[in-house]
Amino acid sequence: MRRRILLLGGLLLTGLCLSELCMGYPVRAAEPPALIPREVLFGNPEISSVSLSPKGERLAYLAPDQGVLNLWVRDLSDDSVPRLLTRQRDRPQRGAAWTADGRYLISTRDSEGDENTVLVRIDPDTGDMRDLTPASGVQAQVVASDREAPNELVVGLNDRDPRYHDLYVIQVDSGERRLLYRSTDDGRQVSVEWLDGAWHPVLRSEVLADGGSAYELKLPGDADWRPFLRFGFEDTISGSSPGGFTRDGRWLYGTLSTGEDLPRLVRWSREELSSCGTVCQPDVVHRSSSGALGVSLTDIDTGEPTLLQEVDLRSRRVVLDASLKADLAALKTLAAGNDFGIVGRDLRDRLWLVVIGSDQKGEEYWLWDRSRRQQRKLFTVRPQLEAYTLAPMESLDLRARDGRRLPAYLTRTPLAASVPQPLVLLVHGGPQARDYWGLNSTHQLLANRGYHVLSVNYRGSTGFGKAHLLAGEGEWYGRMQDDLVDAVNWAVAEGFADPDRLVIMGASYGGYAALAGLTRDPELFAAAVAEVGPSNLRTLLASIPPYWESGRVIFERMIGVGSVDLDAISPIQHVDQIKRPLLLGHGANDPRVKLQESEVIAAAMAERGLPIDFVVFPDEGHGLANPRNALAMTALVEAFLQQHIGGRAEPFGEVLNQSSMDWRLRSLPTP
């Protein structure tokens, strides 16, 4: 039995500036730090999405060509010249991963953000490209690959039914495919979670009617599937699941939170699974001391975990294989107090691709040669940042009004004087997601412009234990919003945030929270910025993508369908409470939060004569993939904030004209 290997990389205004920088109030005696150009923070990186070939001989990566990110490849010999493989001129190329033999690169694309992903094969020698999956209307998901079958990929396609993905084996060289597994063969919607190297489904799961989950097992040689594990809703949403077998087939590893708040890494032996029936007790490998636990490295031959990572406000490594300690010690010295991660390896496990980064420094890619114990710097992602002073990000433990812990991050503006300054509350999306410590371009931009920036992992966020996650059930517009308000009130009480110049800003769920901030707490926030945010939960639920169908019950339960009045928690129903200005942005092709979610609240505000700026990007989906569009939206945010709470802003220049932006409603003067 061989372990499945996932392929990764390649599933958030007014005032026209005529001078180099526009100053708001108050006047500060000290010389302000240089204005960091938007392009430096949000434009094309010099390099990104670096991938090491299986033999450790070549690198594939994204870098600009004629102003657009494209795919390049270069040999690792010192005198090699990078070769351009793709020639995108409108929308950026996506990153790529190598096939197990290094013969091809596999990348993806969609049509202007519609999330109907096409799998693309690219020849790294010639740049020849071929679609391996249907070119439109079908979403492809890479499910498995194996180094002993380098010409094959197992891919999920929803071509038969847009709600469900059937599994196909695709020949990379020819594009031929054969059906492997139909997700509804037995009348249930069941998803394969793990396959062996011969592509036999071994582990599969089903989401139950109450939001729980059930797993079935079919070991090689078994005639039928048999029940294996069953989890309730609480453990399902918090990530309890078997992951997959090791490459040698001896162990099945998984993560459990049953009966405990924090996750633990467990494993079942193959011998026990052959005879234990439905009562299979695992061995505990490691109990996490943090709410998030993941496997960072596995043994290159057996597939057993060798290095774990726990993440709370900050991360820490847990070494399971003592032979790694010398390498990790050398990398810690190289990182010089900054964070580092191992993001790629060759098949001999001799070369490691390492990323080093921090909250005040752009990421760097290094190559670590384990046998020679030598490091080699490859790239700096955004070298232009080195010319500017970045602000540190503080890790905080705040408390909600009911005593719940609120892990948060704060970046203070270096322009701050002795008096309170404006503050932007930046709300993450999901909401089953989280904020992390590290370099955050939005934090840095806003701090440089004169605003404190606060990000809060409100209840319902992942990564801080099961109880913190489940405390968000049914609390949209309720306690989840209270947490955000409590964090802002803390900043005001501490004396560094001006209570008259508070802004709430976010995308996706963060956009919803921004709309909720204007309607639920209309006196608290001076303004709001919302991107791709739902305003009406009834229409949101009626229009979610069909391929979310299997997880609909979990999504609905976390919102509170059946126990909460959806109208009462929909900002569109409370537009009459809005008193403050709103900047609203949306991608026209968004399949998750339809454009109508922004259109209806923009129209309602306009009808009431409320200050509203509403922009639509016709070539984007749930987020802005094109840097030209991201720069335009950032420029609008700068001008909007300067108008309503003071601060600095870079002049528009040509940034709006270079985007696809359609400015539908405006309260700002024309640039």
Active site residue 622: yes
Joined together, the tokens standing for residue 87 give: 């020639």
- Give the Cα separation of 621 and 359 in Å (integer): 29
H/E segment holding residue 362: strand 361-369
Amino acid letter for position 658: Q
Residue with tokens 């806003």: 446
Candidates 486, 473, 400, 487; CA nearest to 431 is 473
Active site residue 508: yes
- Give the Cα separation of 635 and 293 in Å (integer): 37
Partners of 517 in the β-ladder: none
Maximum Cα–Cα distance across the chain: 79
- Give the Cα separation of 18 and 140 in Å (integer): 47
147: CB partners within 8 A, 6+ apart = 5, 54, 100, 101, 347
- DSSP for 497-552, please give it: EEEEEEEEEEETHHHHHHHHHHHHSTTT-SEEEEES--S-HHHHHHTS-GGGGGGH
Joined together, the tokens standing for residue 260 give: 């405990």
Amino acid letter for position 111: S
Amino acid letter for position 193: E
> One of 590, 598, 619, 644 is an active-site residue; which one?
590
Which regions of 541-665 does DSSP assign to beta strands (E)?
Answer: 582-587, 612-617, 662-665
Residue 399 sits at φ, ψ, to 5 deg, of -130, 135
> One of 49, 145, 455, 508 is an active-site residue; which one?
508
Joined together, the tokens standing for residue 580 give: 């403050």
263: CB partners within 8 A, 6+ apart = 238, 239, 240, 255, 256, 257, 288, 291, 292, 293
Edge-to-edge strands of the sheet including 118-122? 96-98, 105-109, 118-122, 129-131
Candidates 577, 579, 559; CA nearest to 569 is 559
Amino acid letter for position 622: H
In the chain, the N- to C-terminal Cα span, in Å, equals 63
Joined together, the tokens standing for residue 241 give: 């699941």
**Contact indicator for 232, 240 with CB cutoff of 8 Å:** no
Helices (H) and strands (E) in the chain, counts: 12, 36
CA 553 to chain centre: 22
**Contact indicator for 109, 121 with CB cutoff of 8 Å:** no
Kindly report the length of the chain: 671
> One of 428, 574, 622, 644 is an active-site residue; which one?
622
CA distances from 443 to 24, 391, 417 (A): 19, 9, 19
**Contact indicator for 409, 435 with CB cutoff of 8 Å:** yes
Residue with tokens 């999405």: 49
Quote the DSSP letter at residue 564.
Answer: B
Amino acid letter for position 515: L
Residue 335 sits at φ, ψ, to 5 deg, of -70, -20
Active site residue 521: no
Amino acid letter for position 264: R
**Contact indicator for 358, 59 with CB cutoff of 8 Å:** no
- Give the Cα separation of 85 and 251 in Å (integer): 40
| Sign of torsion over alpha carbons 565, 425, 659, 508 | negative
- Strand, helix or coil for residue 252: strand
For the annotated catalytic residues, the residue numbers are 508, 590, 622
